[in-house]
Amino acid sequence: MIDDPEKTALFISRLKELLPINAGIAKDLQRSLAAKSPEIPIPAKCQVVDVLNLGDEGGVACCLDIGGSGTAAVHIVSITHLLFDRHSPLFRDIDTYQRR
């Protein structure tokens, strides 16, 4: 399904207001990131430090802080591959987007 541009822009804007956001990294994603960046230990949790709209092909993506500011590799993943706290103010919006 193609995202509604106005709704997506509002969603991203609301997410950016909460940055950084704590997120869990699913096991499959941990393995994938570890394979791409073997020099960096991939934790089970991280912080989302930016949110991007990758358009119809990529949807909403999150920039992850893994390894700190000195890390050479940038980790950008789809929001659908992250786990968020149910107590987060935007959990329902995130969950709705992930399910769609």
- pLDDT tens string, the chain, 100 residues long: the values are 577 889 999 999 999 999 999 999 999 999 999 998 888 889 999 999 999 999 888 899 999 998 776 666 678 999 999 999 999 999 999 999 999 8
Q: Compute φ and ψ for 86, nearest 5 degrees.
A: -60, -20
Amino acid at 12: I
Compute and round to an integer the Cα radius of gyration of the chain: 13
Spatial contact of 8 and 52, defined as CB atoms under 8 Å apart: no
β-pairing, 75-78 vs 21-25, is: unpaired
pLDDT more than 90, % of the chain: 72
Instruction: Quote the CA–CA distance of 94 and 43 in Å, as a whole number.
Output: 21
Model-level pTM? 0.88
